Amino acid sequence: METKTVKKSKQVKTTKKAGKKNISASYNKYKEFGGQQYTGMQIGHGHHWHYDEGDWKETKITPDLWEISYAVTKRRVGHAPENSGVPVGTEYQWYILSHQHVKKLNANDYSTEMSGIKFKLAHKRADKALWNTKTPTQRKHLIQFLKDVIAQLEKEPIPLEFEYNGKAYKGEGVPITETCTPDVCYEVEITLNDEYLGIIRCAKSGWKMDRVEQGLIDAIGNEIFLYFE
């Protein structure tokens, strides 16, 4: 009996180690999306970070235009799979398009929420001195990205009108083109009652959205499905 118990214990340990190797192997292997090869996290999965106390500065340029500067350390919630991810020292340059919702709480404090998309312009490997794309190429990629966003905004949005918990909602959804198939769009930017709520996404377990109650999310998702029927 003791011999059998020892064998089972070893088998369990081996399985766990193999599981860890499989996670990292899956993370690092080449994948394909839209004809483009990539490594790292699979499309549709995500990160969750906590940000330290940051330093945000802003300067008014016109009545509606501000220059901003922000610096902070972000920390992963949980842990990266063992032996996965890029080496320490790897750098990235991203371009962010985001809605910021701000509410004054008192003379000195404001709540703030941001929701949007970010686009990778370049990366620099830890063992390299140069970025993978030069500035003129980065600018061309950014121009094309912004053109695609403009084209997306100029398309007819998804009309949204429904009631939830006795309250009337009316607004629109702007599909994120890269997530669309002939049958449905899996990510849509939502504005209801003239307030931008963020991006709703269709996951395997149903519609998901950050900082919005699930009942309202389900109601929005149902309207989107009805639109595509």
Over the stretch 105-126, which tens digit does the pLDDT of each residue have?
999 999 999 999 999 999 999 9
Residue with the bigger pLDDT between 85 and 166: it is 166
In this prediction the pTM is 0.82
Closest CA to 209 of 111, 117, 103, 115: 115
pLDDT at 11 over 80: no
pLDDT for the residue numbered 22 = 61
Q: How far apart are CA 48 and CA 57, in angstroms?
A: 24
In DSSP notation, 6-75 reads: HHHHHHHHHHHHHHHHHHHHHHHS-EEETTEEE-SSPTT----EEEPS-EEEEEE-SSS-EEEEEE--EE
Note the pLDDT tens digit of each residue in 26-64.
777 888 887 888 877 788 888 899 999 999 999 999 999
> Cβ–Cβ contacts within 10 Å for residue 207, how many?
20
pLDDT at 79 over 80: yes
Q: Where are the domains of the chain?
A: 34-154, 158-228
Closest CA to 94 of 120, 130, 132, 114: 120
